[in-house]
Amino acid sequence: MAYKRNIDRLPIIPAGAKEHNVTCHYCIVGCGYKAYTWPLKTQGSTDSNWIGEDLSKQQAAETAAWYAPSMYNVVKQNGKDVHVVIKPDEPSGEFRARPDPRRADGEKLAV
């Protein structure tokens, strides 16, 4: 059973967190997500974290280096309590730049 503890700030996902590919089963769209899990009472830091960013600096407006309290919880995994953060899977640069197959002139897809 999942539960959320009283916390005053979210833990930072560490560099060694397990990354799981998951799919939302709620509707037919099937959006992809990344779920990160790591042992309780451990976390990353501003200079060593899952995304390899310097989190002590202001991040760009559309950075992937953030998550909200609603995206975090504590759950049981293999009988042990772990932190879990579930984030939308980001399209890679290659996916964003692929040519639109419907266009003869090869114009890129607008994402």
**Contact residue for ligand SF4 among 1, 2, 29, 104 (CB under 6 A):** 29
Among residues 88, 80, 83, 62, the alpha carbon closest in space to that of 72 is found at 83
Torsion of CA 63, 70, 46, 32, to 10 degrees: -50
Only one residue has tokens 């899977």, namely 89
**Contact residue for ligand SF4 among 1, 8, 21, 26 (CB under 6 A):** 26
Among residues 85, 87, 83, 1, the alpha carbon closest in space to that of 42 is found at 83
Q: Which two tokens stand for residue 63?
A: 């950075």
Q: Does 40 bind ligand SF4 (CB under 6 A)?
A: no
Long-range contacts of 19-25 (CB under 8 A, 24+ apart): 19/50, 21/89, 22/86
Work out how close the CB of 62 gets to ligand SF4 at its nearest, in angstroms, rounded to a whole number. Answer: 19
**Contact residue for ligand SF4 among 7, 15, 31, 40 (CB under 6 A):** 31
Q: Does 30 bind ligand SF4 (CB under 6 A)?
A: yes
Binding span for ligand SF4 by CB under 6 A among 1-9, 29-37, 58-66, 75-83: 29-37
Work out how close the CB of 24 gets to ligand SF4 at its nearest, in angstroms, rounded to a whole number. Answer: 3
Residues in contact with ligand SF4 by CB under 6 A are 24, 26-27, 29-31
